């Protein structure tokens, strides 16, 4: 705790949430409502909501009440003219993010975004704090090339983050050459109202629009190397099948992995169990005790049972075993809204704050 509190003094950095009424926006509100470093002082949404108190504008889908300090905030428009905070968390949908986020960066704000628009831009860091914190260094290039005093930092697609967390230790020690991925994704990944109950009750939809190319591309960027002015994508080939299942929260991902350097499943499992992620990502306010939890039980992880591990920030891994085709296969599962979206962005912000990239107030 000492570490955490010492990062900032008594006062906190004022922050805003853009797209605060959607499913991920609400998760941001929940995570930031009583954050030790950040003070959520502004919420923004579309014209339809602007001007209303947050509690009135939002269809709150959480089980807990709306945080009282936020409920009364007047919803602003998602543009830099209406938002004063130096740090903004963006849960905007792609249609709005494309214009709004650069405007904020141009206007000297740090944008931590969950939107997909800029993830694959060469000068935009796509970061999981425990996996590739050094990718933040390309912000220098971003600023130089774009002339922004501010910045855009992206987290990734919710299914990719789960996969990347489980593969990062493998990539770091053995190298990953080829990966087969098949996902079983929770309905909350599609936002709210999102998937119609008539479509998914007692059913599987073996298709999520535009998801597979995202998984295949983003994974290579997450696991890539930072060069002086760009990210060298990992030279791995990824094949992703993505499906929707009737689960509330928690994306389950099964993978077969071909490694550059051979190792048996037991060794890989032990390595995953020992992995702690980048040191700079440990002991931040949102850091889970362990980024990965490795299960020995043959039938775990399971989304309904394990999704809340580490307050939703731990990715659970199980069934690490020999593959008949590649080297090892395994199951990974993580909370798509927390670890795969809002929590990932908040952790990135904490990483930026603790490394001096977000100035103290």
Distance CA 244, CA 251 (A): 9
Helices (H), 207-331: 211-222, 265-274, 303-306
> Does residue 243 interact with a second copy by CB under 8 A?
yes
Q: Is 282 a catalytic residue?
A: no
> Does residue 318 interact with a second copy by CB under 8 A?
yes
> Does residue 144 interact with a second copy by CB under 8 A?
no
* Smallest distance, a second copy to C-beta of residue 96, A: 21
> Does residue 56 interact with a second copy by CB under 8 A?
no
DSSP string, 91-150: ---HHHHHHHHHHHHHTT-EEEE--STTTT-TTS-B--TTT-GGGGGGHHHHHHHH--SS
Q: Is 158 a catalytic residue?
A: yes
Among 214, 319, 335, 339, binds a second copy (CB under 8 A): 319
* Smallest distance, a second copy to C-beta of residue 297, A: 9
Q: What contacts 324, CB < 8 A, 6 or more positions away? A: none
Interaction with a second copy in 5-34: which residues (CB under 8 A)? Answer: 23
Contact 215, 163 (CB under 8 A): yes
Q: What contacts 176, CB < 8 A, 6 or more positions away? A: 167, 170, 223, 234, 236, 257, 258, 259, 260
Which of 93, 306 has the CB closer to a second copy? 306
Token pair recorded at residue 93: 């949908």
> Does residue 171 interact with a second copy by CB under 8 A?
no
- SS3 at position 20: coil
Among 194, 229, 263, 271, binds a second copy (CB under 8 A): 194
> Does residue 63 interact with a second copy by CB under 8 A?
yes
> Does residue 235 interact with a second copy by CB under 8 A?
no
Residue length of the chain: 361
Residue 39 is classified by DSSP as: E
> Does residue 203 interact with a second copy by CB under 8 A?
yes
What is the contact surface with a second copy in residues (CB under 8 A)?
23, 61, 63, 178, 180, 182, 184, 187-188, 192-207, 209, 216, 237-241, 243, 245-248, 252, 254, 256, 298-299, 301-306, 308, 318-319, 323-326, 329, 331, 333
Q: Catalytic residue positions?
A: 158, 251
């Amino acid at each position: 705790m000492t570490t955490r509190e010492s990062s900032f003094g008594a006062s906190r950095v004022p922050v805003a949430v853009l797209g605060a009424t959607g499913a991920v926006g609400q998760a941001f509100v929940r995570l930031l409502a009583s954050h030790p470093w950040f003070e959520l002082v502004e919420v923004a949404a579309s014209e339809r909501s602007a001007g209303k108190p947050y509690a009135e504008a939002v269809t709150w889908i959480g089980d807990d009440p709306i945080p009282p300090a936020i409920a009364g905030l007047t919803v602003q428009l998602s543009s830099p003219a209406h938002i004063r905070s130096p740090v903004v968390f963006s849960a905007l949908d792609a249609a709005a993010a494309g214009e709004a986020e650069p405007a904020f960066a141009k206007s000297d704000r740090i944008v931590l975004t969950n939107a997909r628009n800029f993830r694959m831009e060469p000068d935009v860091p796509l970061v999981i704090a425990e996996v590739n914190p050094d990718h933040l260094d390309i912000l220098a290039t971003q600023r130089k090339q774009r002339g922004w005093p501010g910045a855009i930092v992206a987290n990734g697609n919710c299914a990719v983050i789960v996969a990347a967390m489980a593969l990062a230790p493998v990539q770091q020690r053995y190298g990953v050459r080829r990966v087969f991925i098949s996902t079983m994704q929770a309905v909350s990944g599609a936002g709210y109202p999102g998937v119609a109950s008539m479509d998914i009750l007692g059913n599987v939809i073996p298709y999520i629009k535009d998801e597979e190319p995202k998984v295949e591309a983003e994974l290579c960027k997450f696991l890539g190397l930072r060069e002086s002015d760009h990210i060298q994508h990992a030279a791995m080939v990824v094949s992703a099948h993505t499906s929707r299942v009737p689960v509330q929260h928690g994306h389950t991902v099964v993978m077969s992995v071909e490694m550059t350097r051979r190792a048996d499943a037991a060794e890989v499992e032990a390595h995953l169990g020992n992995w702690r992620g980048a040191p700079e990502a440990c002991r931040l306010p949102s850091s889970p005790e362990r980024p990965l939890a490795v299960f020995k039980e043959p039938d775990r992880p399971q989304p309904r049972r394990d999704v809340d591990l580490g307050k939703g920030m731990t990715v659970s891994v199980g069934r690490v075993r020999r593959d008949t085709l590649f080297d090892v296969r395994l199951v990974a599962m993580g909370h798509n809204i927390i670890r795969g979206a809002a929590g990932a962005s908040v952790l990135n912000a904490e990483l930026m704050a603790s490394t001096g990239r977000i100035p103290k107030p």
